[in-house]
Amino acid sequence: MISQTKITVRYAETDQMGIVHHSVYPIWYEAARTEAIKKIGMTYSTLEKNGVMIPLVELNCRYIFPAEYEDVLTINVEIAKLTPARIVFNYQIFKTRH
């Protein structure tokens, strides 16, 4: 299952050149992941109350094209691997100019 979340780049997420700062992408990944979990009928807080923790242990990003202020982004997230001890999420971000 691929879940999609739309985000419009805010001014505060950009650097002096108007390009999204690299530190913002993990925040967007979390927003998309949270929405994906909701779409399967759960919430992060419910998972945690049930003892399921999802710590970040690795993050790799490849930046192909810059995102800029007011771009509309579609963040796709899918579960690439699911085991009793690990969940691996894959993300892709696509942009359209607003």
**For 1-98, where are the alpha helices, taking DSSP H only?**
25-39, 44-49
The one catalytic residue in 2, 8, 10, 15 is: 15
Q: Other CB atoms closer than 10 Å to residue 82's CB: what's the count?
A: 9
Q: Are the C-beta atoms of residues 78 and 2 closer than 8 Å to each other? A: yes
The question of whether 15 is a catalytic residue gets the answer yes
Q: Which residues are catalytic?
A: 15
